[in-house]
Amino acid sequence: MKSHRRKFLQQLTLGAGSLIGAPAFAKLKSFETDDLHVPIKSDQHFNMCGYAAPKIETVRIGVIGLGMRGSEAVGRLSYIDGVEIVALCDKYPDRAAAAQKTLEKMQRPRAKEFTGEEGWKALCEDKNIDLVYTPTPWSLHTPIAVYAMKNEKHACTEVPAAKTLDQCWELVETSEKTKKYCMMLENCCYDFFELLTLNMTRNGMFGEVLHAEGAYIHDLSKEHIFNKNAYADMWRLKENIGRNGNLYPTHGLGPIAQCMNINRGDKFDHIVSMSTNDFTMNNLAKELAVKDDFFKPYVDKPYRGNMNTTIVRTFNGKTVMVQHDVSSPRVYSRIHLISGTKGCASKYPEPEKISFGHEWIKEQELKDLYEKYSPPIVKHIGTIAKNVGGHGGMDFIMDWRTIDCLRNGLPLDEDVYDAAAWSAVGVLSEQSVAKNGRTIDFPDFTKGSWKSNKPHDMTLNGGATTGVREVKPKLNM
């Protein structure tokens, strides 16, 4: 491939219809490879990896987006001591009213309500909020996170954190300049087997990890994507039209990226990606349109391919495979495979398995490893998390850990560079698919600091002071 440099726009925008002003990126350069631009920022304003913000004794939270994920988050967060849910926002007032009932059930004070198309801006501007928690449609993740940080709030956003490279860079630049956290709420990093394999990896049990695999394979087509009552304004269905790649990479990618110390000793270097054709989504749209005129506008649209397979090579010569398929009738899988020089771990199909040779270890041996290598965070809060719920408890571990870090002045487990790099896999996969699987260079969002950044240790590290309210009744999540 022939590559050359040229001047890049010094000010990147979010495109037409932008909800907020575009950032001015000083000294921003671009590396151009066959008309595909990989922005490179030469100077780091401040290294957010390992940064510990000042302690917040009582974390005042504003939740934006009160649909499926948001309403569940209000319930989970209400269990955590040292938390005040002071603001609720959704463009639909009835959702805010429903969230108020959850607070009342949990004997929490009523929260201030923000509604309407731009109610999220007013919430971010409220000076009585420390953390903005955002489970909204994907298109709002970056605008809200950036606006929150610029208004002196930490930002936690659902996955993916960004939909474009410009947005990835904007998150990084804003977090560095404001010294506010931007954490992507990648709950799968807090699942029990994933935490076990992370701790085993840090203890050298698998040797040097040379390859890993993750995925999001989950047939959402009938019950969710094409369900008129699932996602407001059919936004999830619309995300699957006109885009072709791995639209949702982070559930499988996040846990294995942590095991491979991405952004902390290694980095993603380049990526290739391929997708099948669409064999189901347009057919389903046609089938539904016969019975319901509502679906006629969704017939014969450019749906993404059913299965996408993306491979990333790291700077240190390791490989990562990530797959995405939410429209084929397959059993749910995130894969989660860690392969090292001394052993491997695998989850899906369940039960989870570990090997240090040609055979999987026996069930009792696996139980012994859980007992020895489950990190302290699991032993401290794991049982309570299972009782509270949220994808088997991992949602609650994530929420509790985030609050405990904020209250104790500890670095968060996932920083803005993770949010940018993990999200960028989705963006770059689309570029590679569009170029028939051509290799695309990966931007370094750490601007070189990955060489000296230290792996973060999720062993509570002086935290674990945050209590939990009595768990009754169990929430339906």
d(CA 413, CA 292): 46
Look up residue 31 and give its two tokens.
């590396």
Is 328 within the bounds of a domain? Answer: yes
Does the pLDDT at position 181 exceed 70?
yes
Share of the chain above pLDDT 90, in %: 87
Main-chain dihedrals φ then ψ at residue 344, nearest 5 degrees = -150, 165
d(CA 349, CA 333): 7
Task: Pinpoint the alpha helices (H) of 92-212.
Answer: 93-105, 119-125, 141-150, 165-178, 192-202
- Give the pLDDT of residue 469: 84
Element (H, E) at 71: helix 68-77
Please state, rounded to an integer, the average pLDDT across all residues of the chain: 90
Main-chain dihedrals φ then ψ at residue 39, nearest 5 degrees = -60, 140
Does the pLDDT at position 437 exceed 90?
yes
Question: 269, 333 in Cβ contact below 8 A?
Answer: no
One-letter amino acid of 436: N
Residue entry with tokens 């799968």: 188
- Give the pLDDT of residue 321: 98
Q: Which 3 state secondary structure label does DSSP give 57? A: coil
Residue entry with tokens 């209000």: 74
One-letter amino acid of 10: Q
Is 266 within the bounds of a domain? Answer: yes
- Give the pLDDT of residue 345: 98
pLDDT band for position 460 (cuts 50, 70, 90): low
Reference 34, options 439, 312, 443, 427; nearest CA is 439
Is 23 within the bounds of a domain? Answer: yes
Q: Which 3 state secondary structure label does DSSP give 89? A: strand
Question: 136, 233 in Cβ contact below 8 A?
Answer: no
One-letter amino acid of 164: T
Query: Could you tell me which residues are beta bridge partners of residue 88?
Result: 63, 113
Does the pLDDT at position 213 exceed 70?
yes
- Give the pLDDT of residue 42: 61
Show the domain range for 17. 3-41
Question: 396, 385 in Cβ contact below 8 A?
Answer: yes
- Give the pLDDT of residue 458: 72
d(CA 19, CA 352): 44
Does the pLDDT at position 303 exceed 70?
yes
In this prediction, residues 369-374 reach a mean pLDDT of 97
Reference 395, options 71, 98, 102; nearest CA is 71
Look up residue 109 and give its two tokens.
């004070």
In this prediction, residues 420-435 reach a mean pLDDT of 98
Is 274 within the bounds of a domain? Answer: yes
Contacts of 51 (CB under 8 A, 6+ apart): 179, 411, 415
Is 126 within the bounds of a domain? Answer: no
Q: Which CATH number covers residue 279?
A: 3.30.360.10
Look up residue 241 and give its two tokens.
């039209």
- Give the pLDDT of residue 263: 98
Is 474 within the bounds of a domain? Answer: no
Q: Which 3 state secondary structure label does DSSP give 354? A: strand
- Give the pLDDT of residue 451: 98
Question: 364, 358 in Cβ contact below 8 A?
Answer: no
Q: Give the sign of the dihedral formed by CA 55, CA 60, CA 66, CA 71.
A: positive
> Where are the strands (E) in 256-343, listed by range?
268-275, 308-314, 319-325, 337-340
> Where are the strands (E) in 330-457, listed by range?
337-340, 344-346, 353-355, 440-441
Compare 461 and 306 and report the one with higher pLDDT. Answer: 306
Is 85 within the bounds of a domain? Answer: no
pLDDT band for position 465 (cuts 50, 70, 90): confident
Instruction: Count Cβ atoms below 10 Å from residue 2 Cβ, excluding itself.
Output: 5
In this prediction, residues 313-339 reach a mean pLDDT of 98
Element (H, E) at 372: helix 363-373
- Give the pLDDT of residue 43: 85
Share of the chain above pLDDT 70, in %: 89
List, for residues 139-159, the tens digit of each pLDDT value. 999 999 999 999 999 999 999
Q: Interior CA angle at 195 toward 194 and 201, to 5°?
A: 90
Does the pLDDT at position 384 exceed 80?
yes
**Beta pairing, strands 440-441 & 344-346:** unpaired
- Give the pLDDT of residue 26: 31
Does the pLDDT at position 58 exceed 50?
yes
In this prediction, residues 44-52 reach a mean pLDDT of 96
Does the pLDDT at position 28 exceed 50?
no
Max Cα separation, the chain? Answer: 64
List, for residues 189-203, the tens digit of each pLDDT value. 999 999 999 999 999
pTM score of the predicted model = 0.91
Helix-, strand-, coil-residue percentages of the chain, each rounded to 5: 35, 20, 45
pLDDT band for position 41 (cuts 50, 70, 90): low
List, for residues 350-360, the tens digit of each pLDDT value. 999 999 999 99
DSSP class per residue in 213-227: EEEEE---IIIIIT-
How many domains does the chain divide into?
A: 2
